[in-house]
Amino acid sequence: MSSVTQNVGTFQLDPAIYPHSSTYAASMVVGPDNIIYYTGLTYETSNSTPRCFLATSSFTTSSFSESTTFSEATPSGDACRAIGLIGTDQLALAGTTDPQGRLNYAADRTESDLPLQGFAMTLDAFGETLKGVTLSSSTRVPYPQAVVGDPEDPNALFVASMTANQDVGEDPLDELFPNWTREFQHGTTFELTVEKFFPQDDSITPARTQYFPVDPNADGGYDQTTTVHVAGMIKKPGVGLIIAGSTAATGEAYGTNIDNNVQGFVTILDPTTGKYGNANKDGEAQAFQRFGSELLDIVTNICDDPYDVDAFYVVGATMGDMGGHIKDDIVSPPSGSMYAFIRKVQASSLEEEWTVQFGAYLNNMTSTVAEALGCAVNENGSVYVVGQVESGAGMIELNTMQQSEGGKDIWIARVNTTSGHRLWI
């Protein structure tokens, strides 16, 4: 087993248009001709206003080949949070915008009293804007977390959002350049919303908006125990729309809280009707799954296995034992540590096939935090997991301790898709 990887090219983007400010990447997708598309936000230092950007690179270059901003200077600015493919030759971006901003596509911008609007827009493979739509949630601030097309219907577009169900007052961060791709400027508790659109020749037509409420707490109200984090969404051919996230709440879309802790959930929707259902099975029994350990579990992302019709993966972090500990590790993190994890799920039953946990170690007295943030599968039977580790801790790899570069680091791991065996970190 080798723990050596080859570096085939790296790059770092400094906001060249607006030097000495900040740029945050939020999402990426691989498009036609192996072009990689990135989106997020970048700041203009003259007024600290965030702007949505789209940048491209390729597998053979080690720099951004093109970067475009779409928005204009408005009080709240714009933030792109998600990117996806429609068919084989179009992109879709989704995010938040100032009600008076250019990316608010509503016919009458004065109609809404919301401090932020959600938007989705489509672009061609060259980054030219084709059309856009304002998200349908007229009474809740929406934060799009995922946008996907439908390989079986190139005329359909889906957006999964976290929508604020109370307290839309501003909650500013004490930072010069906040990362609004991960933070929430308005709202304290959130629920899942899924919207379907039909991109037409010259417009995007709303087709369906679905809210998925949570049950109130014992006092009849809503707090951090009743909020939902939406981690991502994929369209699995032959299965449906698969949405993953984490919550301590209960509700029809989220299942029942098992241990009164934050846990992961998976929900499947029929993309045509919007009803719960798994195309691999009859009825709703295989359309829900609540999972986790006896302690805190957080889901951060979901990725498909395009080479297996009955598999997908969820990643995140756990404080407990999800059955994924590697018992042969040279050392274990102290109690209270967060392990990164990847979980392989059978799409037909939503049952776990295997789970792998990745621990980090600093010393035997200090708890550590490692989390997985994304994954991707190749045709050779490997799934790659990427994440971060905090506080100068080193990732544990069987009998090897990875050397920290100091502070918060990035790590990548390779796992066999069949056995769940860790090949290297």
> Which pLDDT value is given to residue 369?
95
> Which pLDDT value is given to residue 377?
95
In angstroms and rounded to an integer, the radius of gyration of the C-alpha atoms of the chain is: 21
- Token digits for 231? 């981690």
> Which pLDDT value is given to residue 326?
64
CA 370 vs. chain centroid, Å, equals 17
> Which pLDDT value is given to residue 137?
66
Burial of 271 (0-12, 13-18, 19+ CB in 10 A): buried
Through-space distance between the first and last CA atoms of the chain, rounded to whole angstroms: 11
Contact 347/278 with Cβ under 8 angstroms? yes
CA 369 vs. chain centroid, Å, equals 19
Q: Provide the CB-side half-sphere exposure for 353 (13 A, CA).
A: 19
Q: Provide the CB-side half-sphere exposure for 291 (13 A, CA).
A: 27
Going from the C-alpha of 255 to that of each of 215, 247, 252, 267, 374, the distances in angstroms are 11, 10, 6, 9, 24
Give the type of residue at 257.
N
* 3-state SS class at 33: helix
- Which regions of the chain are under pLDDT 50? 1-8, 16-17
DSSP at 226: G
Q: Where are the alpha helices (DSSP H) in 212-296?
A: none
> Which pLDDT value is given to residue 66?
66
Segments making up each domain of the chain, as ranges: 9-142+151-212
